[in-house]
Amino acid sequence: MSKTPLLDQLESGPWPSFVTDLKRMAAKKPQVKDLLAQLERSYQEKITHWKHGGIVGVLGYGSGIIGRYSDLAETFPGVEHFHTMRINQPSGWFYTTKALRGLCDIWDKHGSGLLNMHGATGDIIFLGTRTENLEPCFAELTANGWDLGGSGSTFRSPSCCLGPARCEWACYDTMEACYVLTQEMQFDMHRPSYPYKYKLKFSGCPNDCVAAVARADLSIIGVWKDDIRIDQAAVKAYAGGELKPRGGATPYAKLDIKADVTDLCPTHCMSYDGKKLAIDNRNCNHCMHCINLMPQALRPGTETGATLLLGSHAPILEGAQLSWVIQPFIVMESPYDEFKELNVRITEWWAEHGKNRERIGELILRLGMREFLEAAELPPAPQQVRIPRANPFFFWQQSDFDAEAKGRKYYTREGFDVE
């Protein structure tokens, strides 16, 4: 009789079965056999059998490894230790088979052979090894050009969409920016020195394929300032049905440009007279809908960069937050000095004022957006808010009165003009 009758029921059906995959590893790896047995127990009892945390790591690092121990170690000795290693992924998750096989060889030698491609933050996740294997595995990883990612209260492994590597909508080089910032922040990634986790995600356009606005403390989302590029002949081809909407990936054979595109434009900044598509670009809010529907006719403009948004995280503690616009436009070009300097101002303010396990978005809620913006040296801009406040309870500071006395607003477009 099978030892895993409940899990066996997850072997049928058309979607690939993790149980089937794990079973073939179990034939080679005793720890995977014990993992399946413990998982079966969880399926019977409807409860987890992993103990709480445990601090393990490699020498000199305070992150990159998540300690994990079974509470059934006597029954299932193979999973007594079952630590996770986070391996920092390359930009855009591109690989050669040679590189992937190299990783597999290392993990077969030092661990369970189970992994995720990839984890929620972006790293390659090696699941399941013993404490004594961590250092040898790490040595072999670094000898082959790989390093650990972040965990705990550190700068977490940034991730990015594939940007200019394969997308016509990339408004900056997400792949390079991600790589450069990852290299720049190695010390902070591997040595916990922040109040809590801090994530960066780089998306090339407002479609935000890496969910930067929801899953990164600092979200860098590509945008253009000038005009959407139009190929009027291609617009006609869409209208005539020669070109299919969204590249063909819909149930709809033909685009009705008025009903499907211009009528659904959220700012009503476009019109189509049956011959020519007109866009009032000064009133476009970069929603991507028209571009998504007609990729052969429309492309973002050429004066490009990114919008910086800050503060998103999952519900713990104050409830989930989406990132807020803090800088409507920044040019994102190598060596990214302006961005790096701002990133330092943000993390320094947070490190100084943040409580233990307080995300940057929560700190801003506690201390106020003005305090943050002044610390980050960012001027107020209408793009930062959806609507201005409705209450009359606003503060005035001496600097505001000083500016007023000089006949100026506190902030000007040039930046801070009052000492």
Partner 1 sequence: MSERKTDIGPPHYEQFLPPIIKENYGKWKYHEIPEPGVLKHVSETGAELYSVRAGAARLISTDFVREVCEVADKFCDGYLRFTSRNNIEFLLTDKGKIAGLKAELKKAGIPIGGTGHSVTSIIHTQGWVHCHTPAIDASGPVKAVMDDLFEYFGTHKLPAQVRIALACCINMCGAVHCSDIAMCGVHRTAPKIMHDRLRHLCEIPTTIASCPTGAIRPHPDKSLKSVSVNEPKCMYCGNCYTMCPALPCFDAEKGGIAILVGGKVSNAKSAPAFSRLAIPYIPNNPPRWPEVVAAIRNILIKYAEGANKWERLGEWINRIGWEKFFEVCDIPFTFQHIDDYKFQAYDTYRTSMHFKF
CA torsion through residues 361, 307, 148, 83, sign: positive
When asked if residue 267 is in the footprint of partner 1 (CB under 8 A), the reply is no
When asked if residue 367 is in the footprint of partner 1 (CB under 8 A), the reply is no
Q: Between residues 193 and 250, which has the closer beta carbon with respect to partner 1?
A: 250
| CA angle at 359 for the pair 354 and 364, rounded to the nearest 5° | 70
CA 22 to chain centre: 29
When asked if residue 388 is in the footprint of partner 1 (CB under 8 A), the reply is no
When asked if residue 247 is in the footprint of partner 1 (CB under 8 A), the reply is yes
When asked if residue 353 is in the footprint of partner 1 (CB under 8 A), the reply is no
| Cβ-count burial 360-399 (b if 16+ within 10 Å, e if not) | bbbbbbeeebeebbbbbebbeeeebeeeeeeeeeeeeeee
Applying CB under 8 A, the site for partner 1 has a residue count of: 130
Q: Of 37, 65, 85, 114, which lies in the binding site for partner 1, with binding defined by CB under 8 A?
A: 114
Q: Which of residues 61-100 bind partner 1 (CB under 8 A)?
A: 61, 68, 82, 84, 88-100
Q: Of 56, 72, 73, 214, which lies in the binding site for partner 1, with binding defined by CB under 8 A?
A: 214
The nearest distance, CB 400 to partner 1, in angstroms, is: 26
Q: Which of residues 326-345 bind partner 1 (CB under 8 A)?
A: none
Count other C-beta atoms under 10 Å from residue 240's C-beta. Answer: 10
When asked if residue 208 is in the footprint of partner 1 (CB under 8 A), the reply is yes
205 within 8 A of 288, measured Cβ to Cβ: yes
When asked if residue 49 is in the footprint of partner 1 (CB under 8 A), the reply is yes
CA 325 to chain centre: 16
Count other C-beta atoms under 10 Å from residue 273's C-beta. Answer: 8
When asked if residue 130 is in the footprint of partner 1 (CB under 8 A), the reply is no
Q: Using the rule CB under 8 A, give the single segment among 10-18, 331-339, 343-351, 410-418 that binds partner 1.
A: 10-18
The nearest distance, CB 28 to partner 1, in angstroms, is: 8
The CA-atom distances, in angstroms, between 251 and each of 244, 247, 379 are: 10, 11, 46
186 within 8 A of 272, measured Cβ to Cβ: no
The nearest distance, CB 398 to partner 1, in angstroms, is: 29
When asked if residue 131 is in the footprint of partner 1 (CB under 8 A), the reply is no
Q: Using the rule CB under 8 A, give the single segment among 19-27, 345-353, 372-380, 408-416 that binds partner 1.
A: 19-27
Q: Using the rule CB under 8 A, give the single segment among 335-343, 355-363, 377-385, 397-405 that binds partner 1.
A: 355-363
Residue entry with tokens 């992937």:
100
The nearest distance, CB 349 to partner 1, in angstroms, is: 21
When asked if residue 357 is in the footprint of partner 1 (CB under 8 A), the reply is yes
Q: Which of residues 389-408 bind partner 1 (CB under 8 A)?
A: none
Question: Strands, E, within 229-302: which ranges?
Answer: 229-230, 270-272, 277-279, 298-299
Q: How does DSSP classify residue 155?
A: B
Q: How far apart are alpha carbons 38 and 43 in whole angstroms?
A: 9
When asked if residue 165 is in the footprint of partner 1 (CB under 8 A), the reply is yes
Q: 381 pairs with which residues across the strands?
A: none
The nearest distance, CB 399 to partner 1, in angstroms, is: 28
When asked if residue 21 is in the footprint of partner 1 (CB under 8 A), the reply is yes
| CA angle at 122 for the pair 116 and 126, rounded to the nearest 5° | 35
Q: Which of residues 308-327 bind partner 1 (CB under 8 A)?
A: 314-320, 322
Q: Of 65, 134, 175, 330, which lies in the binding site for partner 1, with binding defined by CB under 8 A?
A: 175
Q: Of 3, 120, 340, 397, which lies in the binding site for partner 1, with binding defined by CB under 8 A?
A: 120
When asked if residue 7 is in the footprint of partner 1 (CB under 8 A), the reply is yes
Q: How far apart are alpha carbons 153 and 192 in whole angstroms?
A: 5
The CA-atom distances, in angstroms, between 289 and each of 85, 160, 164, 235 are: 40, 22, 20, 14
Count other C-beta atoms under 10 Å from residue 81's C-beta. Answer: 21
Per-position x/- string for 269-288, each x denoting binding to partner 1 as judged by CB under 8 A, each - no binding: -----------------xxx
